[in-house]
Structure 1
């Protein structure tokens, strides 16, 4: 499982959503060592069979279970390899960055490598498309807030590049942010870049 795989993100999201419930975690714990049927799980976890069925469906859709039919029962067991693969996919900072950064084409990666030295922006590109890539990357690095007072925004930008006035102006003229009375807010384009409403 490679974090750079574009198909991986939806799979991982579904898998971790499957784990994000205390009842499902208790059920998974009960299925680690041996297969269990729905009745066993209901008794073990202390919920109704209907609730167990719902949670088994979520876990199955997340790819976390192996199923074995032995009529009249169906037995379920945790697929430990799938769980370990998911954990491995988010086990290093590099993998998390790849996963969280979304799919990036080779041109975008080349631009970011050319204009950033680690966290620092070396220069703002003159070419429009490259400039947009850099401005959007800088926007992603801001702490998420509903609005930014100008002095706060200056401090955030200054950590990355000393010319915060130019960066702020480019965000406004590019439609990423709007400014009113010294307060900056994400404009429609900025919200789209960050995937927020």
Structure 2
């Protein structure tokens, strides 16, 4: 079953399509630190006669974090700061992880998590498991809403939900400066958090 849910008309990319070329980063240094070194980098280019656009995408690796560690500035060097966010290893089987032992959770304020980007991005995605309907919202520099994606209801494991756990949610827009995950009066976990900077054009000759 395809792990995607969206009530909006904007384009959704599959998880496999997110594995894009990293640009302007020391890849060896990244592999030795916090960005996920397990993915395969692929270059997806939009070519004209002289230029190609290279999206720069980052996957966050949470495995170096401690359980219940507050996540704030740990990934600032890669362009992102979190608010109301902790790292956990879920003990409740209703919140299974997708590809790692550690996930993110909104806390101490339940049902809410925010990520702010130090330079604008155009794509954000994550695998989400929630006990309630959840809204992923993207905002510009002035905190104006750009777009939203909705998980229509709870998708806990071993439940009667038609939506599987670890459903892929994503938002796409120009000049995204922050995103929020909001599940009113609920709890949720986030895995495989990814964001892509605005495409840059470079000369091919």
Common fold, TM-score beyond 0.5?
Answer: no
Larger Rg: 1
Normalised TM-score (structure 1): 0.26
**Between structures 1 and 2, the one with greater helix share:** 1
